[in-house]
Amino acid sequence: MSSIDPTALRHDETEPIRVNSDRIKYTPEYITASYEYQSTRVERASGDNGTTEYVAKPFRQEFEFRTDRRVPKTGLMLVGIGGNNGTTITATVLANRHNITWHSKDGLQRPNYYGSLVRASTIRLGTDPSGKDVWVPFSSMLPMVHPNDLVIGGWDISSMALDGAMERAKVLEYDLQRQVAPHMAKIKPLPSVYYPDFIAANQEQRADNVIPGDDKKAHVEQLRKDIREFRESNGLDQVVVVWTANTERYSEIIPGVNDTADNLLSSIEKSHEEVSPSTVFAVACILEGVPYINGAPQNTFVPGAIELAERHKAFIGGDDLKTGQTKVKSVLAEYLVNAGIKPLSIASYNHLGNNDGYNLSSQRQFRSKEISKSSVVDDCCEANHLLYKAGTNAPQGEDGKRVKGERPDHCIVIKYIPAVGDQKVAMDDYTSELCMGGRNRLYVTNLCEDSLLASPLLIDLAILAELMTRITYRVPGDDGEHKSLYSVLSLLSYSLKAPLVKPGTDVVNSLNRQRAAVTNFLRACLSLPPESDLLLETRIW
């Protein structure tokens, strides 16, 4: 398989920052930072007159973070590389690398990475001597892979080379397609895993490029071989794999089948019917030691897959890309609840005409998407027990999870309308309760180009996942070696609808909290305090 040979331009490169502190040490190989993590632990206690009160205890923990400064030559392997997202991200990287300009009806267009958290957003570093805020590019905080340098390849159930697949997707302007096509034609997808029961029957006509047979253990081994050969043939130091293929139906969680790592491996050896293609890819990546991100809503990471990742200290992340409507919903619902306004119902309607919509026209695949989109308001409702009964005050069950409390009525509809193509239309109706029984209704219409929102997120997920492989930590005083971070990369949640988190911990869907988490983690790796809007210097004499 041919792949991209990086000859990256640096027209958007910025200078890295340097921290002047006795708590940070720079060597040619590493940035080693001492960091004091401060938090608050809360306990319930019996107060006077039989009441219950909260007792808050400040908590401090010293950490040492070590970041490898040597950015590896990195490959990005996409599952579903011939789809809308796969062809769009590949063309985007090629256009940026070769500085391809093109004409549209609006005039001359230049390539960029707009929509990427890593390449098109900034972080407030601090204030200058006059008290003015200083903002720096997100990508300048720590050494990160430049997307122009990514070596791209991957798998698809369709054998069509990427120039034809790009034309089939109908996402990019013709003049751009014309110029990037010679580069795209060099990339042909590897045969992929195809189990018809997991995706819509209407995808069968595409499936002319599949790994033969029904031996799932053999499929895992073939994928591992593909990853190794891709790494070796391109001289790569690291590979990241991202699923951007069709949405699968949910897998049933069956005791003895996929509930533990050993049971999952045994089920793969037996080619059990409930092991999905995406889980086969996940297992192959875990065993091969490369990060694997699930960019679709299905439950790829069954309990056995998470346990297997923990066992091998492999990195996984998911689920489902958070692009347009859901990203807005996570902000708007949080705004209403934090303002003390009670959302009673959220009705969401979508229609789109790309192959994603075609696949989702099947009920079982739509159900996966419905689940991932519906959970986005859960954490903000649980956070306010004054508006919603139970919430975070609810008791925990034997499984450690809180009893779910009151929620807004939440309805999600997705319809396949071929004529609109990649132009996804989303309409939302928010009905909320105001003071003294009043009502507030908000109507939001969101018209977006689906793949042009999703593709930069795939870049972010790959770059940040690679970065996490170079960050280790230890607790001062512990004579042990530096440890890698926990297997589930919850720091990627900003780009994901249904974030995968460490079992037993709360899911955070709030977009602001998700961004603050990754921003403050980068700061911690530089011995910098969390970003704060306290701004005491502006509030005192």
The structural domains of the chain, with segments of one domain joined by +, span 325-451
Q: Given 3.40.50.300, 3.40.50.2000, 3.30.360.10, 3.90.650.10, which CATH number is that of 325-451?
A: 3.30.360.10
Does 400 have pLDDT greater than 60?
A: no
* pLDDT number for residue 360: 65
The residue annotated as part of the active site, out of 163, 369, 379, 460, is 369
483 in active site: no
Q: Is 369 a catalytic residue?
A: yes
Q: Which residue has the higher pLDDT, 6 or 41?
A: 41
pLDDT tops 50 at residue 8? no
- Cis-peptide, bond into residue 506, ω within 30° of zero: no
Q: Which of 156, 320, 450, 460 is catalytic?
A: 320
Q: What is the pLDDT of residue 2?
A: 36
Return the higher-pLDDT residue of 203 and 408.
408
Task: Note whether 345 and 408 are within 8 A (CB).
Answer: yes
pLDDT tens digit string along 266-294? 999 999 999 999 999 999 999 999 999 99
Q: Would strands 52-68 and 30-46 be described as parallel, antiparallel, or unpaired?
A: antiparallel
pLDDT band at 5 (very low <50, low <70, confident <90, very high): very low
CB 431 within 8 A of CB 348: no
Cβ 252 vs Cβ 313: under 8 Å: no
Which of 188, 216, 342, 497 is an active site residue?
Answer: 497
C-alpha distances in Å from residue 455, one per residue of 137, 259, 495: 20, 33, 11
Residue type, 414: I
Residue that is written with structure tokens 């601090």 in the block: 126
For the entire predicted model, the pTM comes to 0.90
pLDDT averaged over the chain? 90
Q: Is 415 a catalytic residue?
A: no
Per the residue annotation, which of 156, 424, 428, 460 is the catalytic one?
424
